[in-house]
């Protein structure tokens, strides 16, 4: 039995007004989604050219979900994005050239060559880099939310998980503590319907992952993750509710993982008809159509934005390639915190 609320789609100008977005915000969302996809498309090329070591993951189909949530966060908030959430890094202001440098293991990458691909984040932008073990970052975000509550700071933590990772114990522990303490945290599930080759029906027996929220004492909402405006509206409401002391929310953003788990995987186990069906729901095309029908985006501005994004990304790739490989002498810098870094009221 489904218990979570199903979010109604944002459609009319009135809905958008309620979502608190002006034309510039709507265009910035579009730009950020294009940059996100553009980075990952170019990443594929760099990988095939042998310029990216290790593996390569993308969030194709998840651009609306990741950009929508990140747009709803305030600068003071923190988040723990995962392997499908390039849009969060882009929206928070990570420069694309540093992302390419990260992919290529260069010293200007966010991990300075010490960790690969999506294992990156700029802490100065309020993002915490993911470790491999999933969903190990959920309790970390809950810890941040607990600190905000204890210090009476009006900040919110956003914790991401995949659908498969929601079956692990860390997810339960994180949501239970957050519910008990009414912590300022919002849980986002990127439900892209597959965990590697395992489909949703073999991952959980409830109708929706968001149904679980009720058992932890907070609201769960199922959202069309291909609809960036609805994602934004629901994320904004949940984040501001958490900030006001209303406790956590679990938002399940439903999409389809449009590419394999990583570059080595052709996703042969995903029915082709399913991929075709979800291709029609492409979040970028959908937002572009909506912008055009609503009179926010004309042909000329669309062309301008497309050219601008292309130029940004081509220059970014070039700049990243000029970044040197890390120096072996720097192997242990940035690995452990310095005593001065630990000299904060929180650590004393
Ligand atoms: C504890 C743990 N087990 C296994 C893995 C290997 N692994 C990485 S991603 C992944 C699939 C996760 O699926 P899901 O949470 O649905 O996210 P998706 O990759 O589909 O976006 C697995 C099994 C891991 N990183 N951590």
Tens of pLDDT, residues 206-227: 999 999 999 999 999 999 999 9
Q: Which helix (H) or strand (E) holds 187?
A: strand 185-191
pLDDT of residue 338: 78
Choose the residue to mutate in 195, 197, 203, 260 for probing ligand 1, maximizing ligand atoms within 8 Å of C-beta.
195
Fold of 5-22+60-94+122-294: Rossmann fold (3.40.50)
Give me ligand 1 centre to Cα 260, in Å: 12
pLDDT(264) > 70: yes
121-136: string of b/e by CB count within 10 Å (b at 16+)?
bbeebbbbbbeeebbb
Percent of the chain whose predicted confidence (pLDDT) is above 70: 99
**Among 162, 191, 194, 198, residue to substitute to test ligand 1 (most atoms within 8 Å of Cβ):** 162
1-22, pLDDT tens digit by residue? 789 999 999 877 777 777 788 9
Q: Report which protein residue has its CA nearest ligand 1's atom 13.
A: 195
DSSP assignment of 75-110, as one string?
TT-EEE--TT-HHHHHHHT--HHHHHHHHTT-TTST
The tokens 């996809």 sit on which residue?
37
**pLDDT tens column, 21-30:** 899 999 999 9
What would the mean pLDDT of 304-316 be, rounded to a whole number? 98
pLDDT at 279 over 90: yes
**How far apart are the CA of 142 and the centre of ligand 1, in A?**
20
How would you class 87 by CB atoms within 10 Å of its CB: exposed for 0-12, middle for 13-18, buried for 19 or more?
buried
Q: Which H/E stretch holds residue 251?
A: strand 249-254
**In terms of Cα–Cα distance, which of 211, 117, 126, 116 is closest to 163?**
211
- Retrieve residue 40's tokens: 């990952």
Ligand 1 centroid to Cα of residue 165, in Å, is 6
Q: What is the pLDDT of residue 56?
A: 94
Question: Ligand 1 in contact with 238 (CB < 6 A)?
Answer: no
CA distance between the termini of the chain: 48
Across the chain, mean pLDDT equals 95
Mutate to test the pocket of ligand 1, among 58, 119, 196, 254 (most ligand atoms within 8 A of CB): 196
Bond preceding residue 135 cis, omega within 30 of 0: yes
Scanning the structure block, which residue is given the tokens 């010490």?
A: 114
- pLDDT per residue as tens digits for the range 110-162: 999 999 899 999 999 999 999 999 999 999 999 999 999 999 999 999 999 99
95-109, 287-301, 325-339: which has the minimum mean pLDDT?
A: 325-339
Residue 107 has pLDDT above 90, yes or no: yes
Q: How far is CA 154 from the centre of its chain?
A: 22
pLDDT in tens, 32-58: 999 999 999 999 999 999 999 999 999
Q: 82 C-alpha vs ligand 1 centroid, how far in Å?
A: 10
> Which of 40, 54, 84, 134 gets mutated to test ligand 1 (max ligand atoms within 8 A of its CB)?
134
Q: Is the pLDDT of residue 265 over 90?
A: yes
* DSSP summary character for residue 124: G
Say if ligand 1 is within 6 A of residue 269 CB: no
What distances in angstroms separate CA 139 from CA 19, 173, 280, one per listed residue? 29, 7, 36
Tell me which residue of 96, 95, 63 sits closest to 81, measured CA to CA. 63
Helical H segments across the chain, by residue range: 13-18, 23-48, 63-72, 86-92, 96-103, 137-150, 169-181, 213-216, 228-243, 272-279, 283-293, 299-322, 339-342
Nearest CA to ligand 1 atom 12: 195
């Amino acid at each position: 039995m489904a218990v979570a609320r199903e979010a109604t789609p944002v459609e009319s100008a009135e809905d958008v007004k309620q979502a608190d977005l002006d034309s510039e915000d709507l265009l910035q969302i579009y730009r950020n989604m294009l940059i996100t996809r553009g980075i990952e498309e170019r990443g594929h090329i760099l990988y095939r050219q042998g310029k990216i070591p290790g593996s390569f993951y993308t969030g194709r189909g998840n651009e609306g979900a990741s950009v929508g949530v990140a747009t709803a966060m305030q600068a003071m908030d923190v988040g723990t994005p995962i392997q499908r959430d390039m849009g969060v890094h882009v929206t928070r202001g990570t420069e694309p050239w540093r992302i390419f440098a990260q992919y290529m293991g260069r010293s200007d990458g966010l991990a300075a060559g010490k960790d690969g691909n999506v294992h990156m984040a700029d802490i100065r932008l309020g993002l915490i880099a993911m470790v491999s073990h999933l969903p190990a970052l959920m309790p970390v975000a809950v810890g941040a939310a607990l600190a905000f509550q204890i210090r009476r700071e009006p900040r919110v933590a956003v914790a991401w998980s995949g659908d498969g990772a929601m079956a692990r114990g860390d997810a339960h522990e994180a949501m239970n503590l957050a519910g008990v303490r009414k912590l300022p945290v919002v849980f986002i599930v990127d439900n892209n319907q597959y965990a590697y080759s395992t489909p949703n029906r073999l991952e959980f027996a409830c109708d929706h992952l968001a149904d679980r929220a009720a058992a932890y004492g907070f609201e769960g909402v199922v959202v069309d993750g291909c609809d960036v405006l609805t994602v934004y509206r629901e994320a904004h409401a949940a984040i501001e509710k958490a900030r006001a002391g209303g406790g956590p929310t679990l938002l399940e953003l439903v999409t389809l993982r449009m590419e394999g788990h990583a570059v080595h995987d052709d996703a042969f186990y995903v029915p082709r008809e399913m991929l075709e069906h979800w291709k029609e729901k492409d979040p970028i095309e959908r937002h572009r159509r909506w912008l055009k029908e609503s009179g926010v985006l004309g042909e000329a501005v669309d062309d301008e934005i497309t050219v601008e994004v292309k130029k940004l990304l081509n220059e970014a790739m070039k700049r990243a390639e000029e970044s040197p490989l890390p120096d072996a002498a720097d192997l242990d810098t940035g690995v452990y915190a310095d005593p001065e870094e630990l000299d904060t009221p929180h650590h004393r």
